[in-house]
Amino acid sequence: MPELMTTPDVIVVGGGIVGLSVAWRTARRGLSVAVVDPDPGGGATHASAGMLAPVSEVTYTEEPVLRLGLASLALWPSFRDELEGDSGVDLDYRTDGTLKIAYDADDMAYLDELAAFERTLGLRVERLTGRECRRLEPMLAPSIRGGMLAEDDAWVNPRLVTRALRTALDRAGAAVVADRAVALTARGVRLASDGVVAAPRVVVAAGPWSPELLPGLPVRPVKGQILRLRGPGGFLTRCVRGLVHGSPAYLVPRGDGEITLGATMEELGFDGRVTAGGVYELLRDAHELVPGLTEMELAETTVGFRPGTPDNLPLIGPFDVPGEADVLAATGHHRNGVLLTPITAEAVAAFLTGEAVPEVVKSCDPGRFPE
């Protein structure tokens, strides 16, 4: 294992977008930090589409998730500016909104009902006819029934964000230890290589693997299969989310012509297989919405594991582990890891430095579930 020159103030276990951002925001406050992860930037972050979409992700009964998402979306512009400034990496951050489209009359009825609910929450959504949808996105199928425009949604390329975070951390002098943390100790973490990294505080941001270090933490893997298609730039100009006979799909365009097409939701534990059925269903539904995409190159198939919790809210804050290092959790972000990164990183950095923690994060207390 690599020898750290000095004992850092904080160890962050997990080098996904959440762990790296916690480390960066903490290092910016003057604390020394080490990140421990066998594959920093891998995991769910590598798979994810990067939608910053609290409005179009909203579902009935999940208003606390919405409130947290809106608070984090509001932090994204300054997070982006500071990260681009610290790293020199362009994050491909886009603010053109989400177009939600309905394939048939039943899908449209569902979207109309959801939009009525969204308006009661004060969210801006605009009802569009099929023709109006196609005026915004000419590649949509002529048979589209109609849609909803959520102008306040944004998106980013998560792979560029992790590249930027690695650079920013490097420049801040933070250490990245490419090893797996297998256990907490009284003074830090033990590594798979049998070494130890010592620090007085540990943040566990290891996504669905977090319970390996914090047994009893209610996080489970929710498998997602996701595809990357490559073609000419400008094929789509905004995020498109569709319902096809009740089945959801999303298409997220990048500046370089890539389109991320996702994603399955599967309760299959850590099953890392890309399946014929998963790929078929994604392409079938996407083809109904945007027929021309079958001309694109199928460049990548990926599986990621969302860290799911019983109420779909993350776990952010102190987690009492008697006899072991002072531990905080920063995990359980389920479908919203990229969106919730700025508020999570701010909250954890505030916990670590004794600053005021954003009020909205109090709903994410890791101890909120009865044993």
- Give the residues lining the site for ligand GLY (CB under 6 A): 49, 51, 224, 262-263, 306, 335
Reading phi first (left if > 0) and then psi (alpha if -120 to 50, else beta), residue 332 is in left
**What number of residues does the chain have?**
371
Query: Which CB, 31 or 114, lies closer to ligand GLY?
Result: 114
The minimum distance between CB 51 and ligand GLY, in angstroms, equals 5
The minimum distance between CB 264 and ligand GLY, in angstroms, equals 8
The minimum distance between CB 67 and ligand GLY, in angstroms, equals 17
Tally of CB atoms within 10 A around 71:
18
- Does residue 258 contact residue 228 with C-beta atoms inside 8 Å? yes
Query: Which CB, 71 or 249, lies closer to ligand GLY?
Result: 249
The minimum distance between CB 310 and ligand GLY, in angstroms, equals 17
Query: Which CB, 26 or 48, lies closer to ligand GLY?
Result: 48
- Does residue 219 contact residue 268 with C-beta atoms inside 8 Å? no
Query: Which CB, 308 or 366, lies closer to ligand GLY?
Result: 308
Query: Which CB, 101 or 213, lies closer to ligand GLY?
Result: 101
The minimum distance between CB 234 and ligand GLY, in angstroms, equals 23
Query: Which CB, 11 or 282, lies closer to ligand GLY?
Result: 282
The minimum distance between CB 239 and ligand GLY, in angstroms, equals 11
The minimum distance between CB 49 and ligand GLY, in angstroms, equals 6
Query: Which CB, 188 or 262, lies closer to ligand GLY?
Result: 262
